[in-house]
Amino acid sequence: MRETSAQRREVKLFIDGEYVPSAANKTFPVHNPATQEIIADVHEATREDVDRACQAARRAFETGPWRTMTIKERCAKVRRMAEIIMERQEELARLEALDVGKPYPVAFEFEIPRAAHNLKFFADFVEQHGSETYPMEEAYLNYTRYEPVGVAALITPWNLPFMLTTWKLGPCLAAGNTAVIKPAEPTPLTVSLLGEIAKEAGIPDGVVNIVQGFGPGSTGEFMTTHPEVDLISFTGETKTGKAIMKNGADTLKRVSFELGGKAANIVFEDADLEKAIPTSIRAAFLNSGQVCLAGSRILIQRSIFDEFVERFRSAASMLKVGDPQDSSTNMGPLVSEEHYLKVTSYINIAEAEHSQLVFGGKRPELPHYLSNGYYLEPTIYIQENPQARICQEEIFGPIVTLIPFDTEEEALQIANNTEYGLNAVVWTESLQRAHRVAHKVRAGTVWVNCWFVRDLRAPFGGFKKSGIGREGGHHSLEFFTEAKTVCLALS
């Protein structure tokens, strides 16, 4: 089934257990990025709507049963949400493909199951989580309690809407907090359904609220300045993180930020190219390159540079760009017109910087019904100057830059010479070099001979301007809880 505008939807706000229109009854359109057809009219939350959502979350936190029910009972409800998500896997994956423009199989096989796993993982994790005790001789005993913080604002970007929202919602709910969620304005559809999923799972009204709208001067800003919001978990652009930090400062909100990236994917001459090339293709073009962890700068040792370029170009030329709902599609469109214009502006920038075009750079030839879609071919440049803008700035699209290097020191120097530090990838068959380079790269995650795999207990986050704090396992729990010491006299 191809999802089309025939199913044009009305997306309301979810406040205190009910879907409601915005107080101003104001809506904005959402487009299918593959065709530009309008697929939804979304209610934009006003300041008054955000206030109602935050007050509902506060009431549910202070007086509702959520915080005081047993951990077992609470986690069972979070786990039930995960089961319902898997029961609705196909519907959610179709909607995600329609809204974001990502290939349906990517949503169906990876993102929706991972979203369910995020909830289940944190429900299990919280249930099994212990705490420290510190006996002081025979006289006193200190022990720690991890208590929920309060009302959390969860603000997410458009590239992995459902997956990233559940990544925050899992630890938030399992730890006993309540939430006001805001998905990104171009991609509200799947996250909007979390309201009915929470309700069906038996989560009390007011615990999960979902508001829709824009960032500055709109819903996002109303949330981050609201006095009832205690903490903000945000994933998005570095510049938005700065604005949120300023806006949250007056009410001293706790923040966790997952921000932009410009990962170096370093290929040494002893790399196994049979593995490095297909994985580097995925790292560059998965989700049309709209992945914070994308390996958008490939650093290649000069002795294998020409061979790598030719094999990488040939693999990129095999990618099928097309309809996101078609299961044979490898790459869909970019998410919106605004983003398409931003990404394609880098083609002019690359030319002005004398980058050498290896492949792509144009709209692909596509069937007529996709002729208005925001499509760009997988695009590959060679650039010798690592200071060039295409080597420094986060493009967040299917544009990858190949940069030659001679020595390990030079590779590290180039890899570390950006304002970002989210992740890096290293390809080598030398164990010593793998560890050496992994230790010296200034990034939150370093993948050696792989990409995009991670145990959810491991810390995830960025060095430098790629973030503040870590998510994953007990790192998420630390953010979503207040640690309390109880010191007891034993005699």
| Interaction site with ligand NAD (CB under 6 A) | 155-159, 182, 184-185, 214-216, 220-221, 224, 235-237, 240, 243-244, 258-261, 292, 394, 396, 422, 462, 467
Strand order in the sheet with 38-43: 9-11, 38-43, 27-31
Query: C-beta of 9: minimal distance to ligand NAD in Å?
Result: 19
- Among candidate residues 3, 44, 228, 258, the one labeled active-site is 258
Residue given tokens 């959520």 in the structure block: 66
Rounded to whole angstroms, how far apart are CA atoms 203 and 451? 35
CA atoms within 13 A on the CB side of 91: 12
Other C-beta atoms lying within 10 Å of the C-beta of residue 200: 14
CB distance 299 to 400 below 8 Å: no
CB distance 49 to 211 below 8 Å: yes
Beta carbon nearer to ligand NAD, 396 or 480 = 396
Query: C-beta of 480: minimal distance to ligand NAD in Å?
Result: 17
Query: C-beta of 260: minimal distance to ligand NAD in Å?
Result: 4
CA atoms within 13 A on the CB side of 4: 5
Beta carbon nearer to ligand NAD, 308 or 460 = 460
Beta carbon nearer to ligand NAD, 129 or 342 = 342
Whether 337 sits among the annotated catalytic residues: the reply is no
Whether 172 sits among the annotated catalytic residues: the reply is no
Query: C-beta of 70: minimal distance to ligand NAD in Å?
Result: 32
Helix H or strand E segment including 427? strand 423-427
Residue 65 vs residues 72, 123, 206, 444, 483: alpha-carbon distances, Å: 13, 17, 11, 37, 21
Helix H or strand E segment including 196? helix 194-200
- Residue 293: phi and psi, rounded to 5, are -90, 5
Query: C-beta of 248: minimal distance to ligand NAD in Å?
Result: 9
Beta carbon nearer to ligand NAD, 301 or 423 = 423
Helix (H, G, I), strand (E, B) or coil at 221: helix
Beta carbon nearer to ligand NAD, 163 or 321 = 163
Beta carbon nearer to ligand NAD, 176 or 289 = 289
Beta carbon nearer to ligand NAD, 289 or 322 = 289
Rounded to whole angstroms, how far apart are CA atoms 235 and 461? 10
Angular region, 137: left φ>0, alpha ψ -120 to 50, beta rest: left
Query: C-beta of 310: minimal distance to ligand NAD in Å?
Result: 30
Query: C-beta of 204: minimal distance to ligand NAD in Å?
Result: 25
- Among candidate residues 54, 75, 292, 391, the one labeled active-site is 292
Both tokens of residue 480? Answer: 């979503």
By C-alpha distance, which of 419, 432, 426, 376 is closest to 405?
426
For the annotated catalytic residues, the residue numbers are: 258, 292
